[in-house]
């Protein structure tokens, strides 16, 4: 009798459960319908920055509008890449097309008119810059074509393109994601195997008779950088300070490293000792697991400057952030003081003032080929010192120092130990990195020098997170910043409009990333992950690979997208990233 009663009770609960789901789905059709959405100009970053004290606004700006020259160089970069590698997924190119492409590529080479000199063996002025430039381009441009051709590279899209200017030279880098190429086998050096990696190509263009021509180029894969970074990470300990070897990226062909070579270890040690305790390591946590990391440093007493990029990732993925120094100090964070997404800076206040901050150098006194030093923590277990040279100076400081993502927010020093920039997230996992110049940092330092520490108002991380996701909406409309043409593509992923039957309260788009936040009104009965089962199943059916599957976070990937699904209290968060 008890057995039948237990079965009946179980059946009753099952019926109630099914009814709840049916009633919920019947009355809560997916609210993100294009016809009902208001696509406004407001974005989540504006909501956050408008929350800070107006007196703390950071007005210093970096040119963001793309110039006609930059547009032309981007097109030239794509053209050069095509002539170098062929079409997308080009497996069966005809010999006729190969020959034509090769000739057009060689026509891009920088070939200056060289002054003649009958007293030399060559008949040209071998001391002239034109002669030296012709030697560089005449050797490098043809040889790289042949080297890359032997690797049988297959690529399917153009990735990020970065452009900087160094006097008469325009430097352009292009990332080709998920390329397939030959690589020497680890087991047998006489054999090759096909690998999948990211390939970064660097082009140096010089103007000649009104046109930009290819002066120099080189390429690298993520594996090349990973080997170097792995050595640095292995050496990062709290008990010792090691100066990392200069990364060899073939730049010595066109840059003079004499100033860097003349910098002694003693001088670098002095820079380290002067600034060791002024640098902090930042972690963002979700359920006691680290979701992202960055560096920062004390710009004023008790004020840490880091990147907006790190702060925004923390607002999306984390519940709180922490700060610690190499000397073992752990700082209690009071809140966020201000931020500027355009210049990629954010200011964090700790609870007690720290009378220890960096000295700022003069950005305007810097020159290309000057030494540059970065002190950062890659793993949070110690500090790593890297050195290189400045390769370009425009709105950013470009250096020859490779960085990983966790290096963002770290200080860039000159040879005198003064901070000349803050490393951004714009160029990591490549052999050239970018730092925001000190004009941005000086505004921060000057602004808070004249304010008593206890009077500096900071917004707690939790409060800022609520503002980040806050949105005004009614039954008819949802405000968001996803352009219609972008949503048309992203909405096809996992058939999300049909498979997530929750009320969408926040939708945002930025830099190939869509962030969606759903409200779960019945989280006490059905978890967010249960309500995402159909969506996750569809991703697997569509060929996505399951990278992570836990009770609070799932990650799916294919060659084009990464999908992150997160459970946060009464909310389901889905982030879709185009790789």
Considering 197, 227, 257, which residue would you say is the last residue of a domain?
Answer: 227
Q: Is residue 74 part of a domain?
A: yes
Considering 227, 257, 288, which residue would you say is the last residue of a domain?
Answer: 227
Q: Is residue 282 part of a domain?
A: yes
pLDDT of residue 409: 96
Structure tokens at 21: 């789901």
pLDDT of residue 448: 94
The secondary structure of 521-555 as a DSSP string is TTTTTS-HHHHTHHHHHHHHHTT-EEEEE-SSEEE
Q: pLDDT of 46-71, one tens digit each?
A: 777 888 999 999 888 776 677 889 89
pLDDT of residue 238: 56
Output helix, strand, coil percentages for the chain, rounded to the nearest 5.
35, 30, 35
User: Are 363 and 507 in a shared domain?
Assistant: no
**DSSP secondary structure letter of residue 110:** -
Phi, psi of 419 (to 5 degrees): -75, 125
**C-alpha–C-alpha distance, residues 273 and 326, integer Å:** 11
E-assigned strand segments in 496-560? 503-510, 513-519, 545-549, 553-557
Assign residue 325 the CATH number of its domain. 2.40.10.120
User: Are 112 and 210 in a shared domain?
Assistant: yes
User: Are 382 and 316 in a shared domain?
Assistant: yes
**C-alpha–C-alpha distance, residues 374 and 427, integer Å:** 14
pLDDT of residue 64: 60
Q: Does the reported pTM lie above 0.75?
A: no
Helices (H) and strands (E) in the chain, counts: 15, 25
Residue 547 Cα to chain centre, angstroms: 20
pLDDT of residue 328: 82
User: Are 257 and 405 in a shared domain?
Assistant: yes
pLDDT of residue 479: 57
* Nearest residue to 507 via CA among 521, 522, 519, 520: 519
User: Are 186 and 326 in a shared domain?
Assistant: no
The secondary structure of 439-467 as a DSSP string is HHHHHHHHHHHTS-GGG---B-HHHHHHH
Residues spanned by the domain of 33? 16-51+472-578
pLDDT of residue 44: 64
Considering 185, 209, 227, which residue would you say is the last residue of a domain?
Answer: 227
Q: Is residue 446 part of a domain?
A: yes
The dihedral region occupied by 344, where left means phi > 0, alpha psi between -120 and 50, and beta the remainder, is left
Three-state DSSP at 565 gives: strand
| Total number of domains constituting the chain | 3
Q: Is residue 403 part of a domain?
A: yes
Residue pair 505/478 in contact by the 8 Å Cβ criterion: yes
The parts of the chain modelled with pLDDT lower than 70 are 1-44, 63-64, 237-240, 427-429, 469-479, 524-525
pLDDT of residue 42: 41
User: Are 142 and 250 in a shared domain?
Assistant: no
Three-state DSSP at 14 gives: helix
């Amino acid at each position: 009798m008890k057995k039948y009663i237990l079965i009946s009770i179980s059946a009753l609960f099952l019926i109630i459960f099914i009814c709840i789901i049916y009633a919920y789905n019947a009355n809560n059709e997916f609210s993100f319908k294009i016809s009902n959405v208001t696509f406004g100009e407001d974005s989540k970053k504006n909501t956050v920055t408008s929350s800070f004290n107006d007196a703390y606004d950071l007005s210093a700006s970096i040119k963001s509008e793309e110039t006609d020259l930059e547009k032309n160089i981007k097109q030239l970069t794509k053209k050069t890449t095509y002539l170098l590698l062929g079409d997308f997924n080009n497996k069966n190119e005809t010999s006729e097309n190969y020959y034509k492409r090769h000739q057009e590529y060689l026509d891009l080479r920088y070939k200056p008119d060289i002054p003649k000199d009958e007293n030399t063996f060559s008949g040209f002025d071998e001391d002239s810059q034109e002669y030296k430039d012709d030697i560089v381009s005449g050797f490098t441009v043809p040889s790289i074509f042949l080297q890359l051709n032997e690797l049988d590279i297959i690529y399917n899209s153009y990735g990020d393109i970065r452009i900087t200017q160094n006097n008469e030279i325009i430097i352009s880098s292009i990332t080709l994601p998920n390329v397939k190429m030959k690589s020497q086998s680890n087991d047998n050096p006489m054999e090759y195997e096909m690998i999948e990696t990211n390939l970064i190509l660097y082009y140096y263009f010089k103007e000649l008779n009104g046109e930009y021509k290819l002066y120099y180029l080189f390429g690298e894969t993520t594996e090349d950088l990973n080997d170097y970074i792995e050595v640095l990470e292995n050496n990062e300990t709290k008990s010792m300070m090691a100066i990392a070897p200069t990364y060899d990226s073939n730049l010595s062909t066109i840059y003079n490293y004499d100033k860097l070579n003349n910098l002694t270890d003693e001088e670098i040690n002095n820079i380290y000792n002067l600034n060791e305790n002024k640098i902090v390591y930042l972690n963002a946590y979700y359920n006691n697991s680290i979701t992202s990391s960055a560096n920062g440093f004390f710009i004023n007493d008790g004020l840490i400057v880091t990147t907006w990029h790190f702060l925004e990732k923390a607002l999306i993925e984390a519940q709180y952030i922490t700060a610690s120094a190499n000397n073992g100090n752990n700082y209690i964070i009071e809140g966020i003081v201000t931020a500027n997404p355009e210049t990629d800076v954010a200011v964090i206040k700790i609870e007690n003032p720290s009378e220890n901050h960096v000295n700022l150098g003069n950005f305007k006194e810097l020159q290309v080929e000057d030494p540059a030093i970065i002190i950062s923590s890659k793993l949070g277990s110690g500090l790593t010192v890297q050195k290189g040279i400045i390769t370009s100076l425009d709105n950013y400081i470009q250096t020859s120092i490779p960085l990983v993502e966790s290096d963002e927010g770290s200080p860039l020093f000159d040879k005198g130990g003064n901070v000349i920039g803050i490393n951004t997230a714009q160029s990591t996992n490549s052999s050239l990195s970018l730092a925001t110049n000190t004009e941005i940092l000086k505004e921060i330092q000057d602004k808070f020098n004249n304010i008593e520490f206890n009077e500096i108002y900071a917004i707690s991380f939790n409060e800022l997170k609520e503002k980040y996701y806050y949105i005004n909406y009614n039954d008819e409309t949802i405000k968001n910043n996803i352009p219609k043409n972008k949503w048309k593509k992203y909405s096809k992923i996992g058939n999300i409009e049909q498979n997530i039957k929750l009320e969408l309260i926040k939708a945002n788009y930025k830099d190939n990333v869509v962030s969606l936040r759903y409200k779960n009104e019945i989280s006490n009965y059905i978890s967010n992950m249960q309500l995402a089962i159909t969506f996750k199943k569809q991703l697997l059916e569509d060929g996505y690979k399951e990278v992570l599957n836990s009770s609070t976070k799932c990650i799916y990937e294919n060659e084009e997208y990464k999908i992150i699904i997160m459970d946060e209290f009464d909310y389901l968060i889905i982030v879709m990233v185009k790789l």
